[in-house]
Amino acid sequence: MTGLAPSPTGTLAPLAGLRPLLAEIGDAKRVRVAGRPGSLAEQAFARAWARLGSGEDVAAVAYSETAAAVARARLAGVDAGVLTTAGLSDDEALGVLRRGFDEVAGPLDPDLRERLRTALGPLPSPGTPPGPARALNAQPRAGATAPGKPRIVVEPPESHGDHCLTVAVYSALVAPVVGADPVAPFLLGLGHHLHNVVLPDAGFAGEVLLGDALERVVVTLEERELAALPGPLAGRLREVLALRPGAEVPEARAFHAADVLDRVLQVHHHARAAAFTASQALDDLELVHAGPVQAYHLDVLGAAGL
């Protein structure tokens, strides 16, 4: 696998420091809460699309949703709405969000980190997202496929909403590494699988079998979805989708770095999950954690042969 060309303003070396945070953010694909359909990533994907569809400024959506994703790495579904419902004031809720953000945000570019921290706060109540967002949240990803080989099936599969939201957030976070503004790659991340609203995902193996028809299929289906969106949003999406074929400009490099990082981190997640052992939970993660009844819990486990 060849790497992306380094940005003229720096190298890709900072990605190594970002990788643990990106992996934690990606876990939002696998976390759910009661009363809200879909993973936390799918919920954020639908909300971001609803905000864009209502005409909200793209930069405001990009920075606030990226900030929320960073805080979510440790707080999971504990957001401002939950905290104020539980009796905290707006300022107290913001303090919790900032503590969660600060705990993991150290590897971020300092200027971006400050801008994201400022963008933290209550997010709008989810409106009705455009049809493509709902469809992509329901459309599974193919996973790892290769021409001429059986596909590797992993359960549960991520959705295209999971992937697109994660790539959007990663794009914003890696943008400073390649000298890019975060907003355009964030939007490209959200919209780069519009063709999969209709086209089920058969992965790279399926793309090879489509052959010369692949580009025509993608363009036809993508334009079908763009034509149904509000004009200003469709126009902005066309602008950023034009960046997708290459990696010559910083915004395209940020997107492609994010896309490949998410695909490979997803595979690493499944590999870790398959290798997980009970001793890791008991010893490394202290499943039976310190507390007033820890000794009793250990006695119970000992008696049960666990």
Q: Is residue 149 part of a domain?
A: no
Note the pTM of the prediction, 2 decimals. 0.89
Say how far apart CA 112 and CA 42 lie, in whole Å: 24
Q: Is residue 290 part of a domain?
A: yes
Q: Are the beta carbons of 69 and 25 closer than 8 angstroms?
A: yes
What's the distance, CA 287 to chain centroid?
27
Residues 192 and 304 in one domain: no
pLDDT < 70 positions in the chain = 1-10
One-letter amino acid at 226 equals L
Residues 246 and 305 in one domain: no
Angle at 173 between CA 161 and CA 137, to 5 degrees: 5
Residues 24 and 40 in one domain: yes
One-letter amino acid at 260 equals V
One-letter amino acid at 280 equals Q
Q: Is residue 7 part of a domain?
A: no
Q: Is residue 227 part of a domain?
A: yes
Residues 289 and 166 in one domain: no
pLDDT of the residue at 117: 98
pLDDT of the residue at 306: 79
Residues 170 and 295 in one domain: no
Q: Which residues form the domain of 221?
A: 15-139+154-275
Residues 227 and 213 in one domain: yes
Residues 293 and 193 in one domain: no
Q: Is residue 147 part of a domain?
A: no
Residues 175 and 46 in one domain: yes
Considering its fold, how many domains does the chain have in total? 2
Nearest CA to 154 out of 167, 143, 138 is that of: 143
pLDDT of the residue at 48: 98
Q: Are the beta carbons of 170 and 108 closer than 8 angstroms?
A: no
Q: Is residue 299 part of a domain?
A: yes
Residues 231 and 84 in one domain: yes
pLDDT of the residue at 1: 40
Residues 183 and 69 in one domain: yes
Q: Is residue 148 part of a domain?
A: no
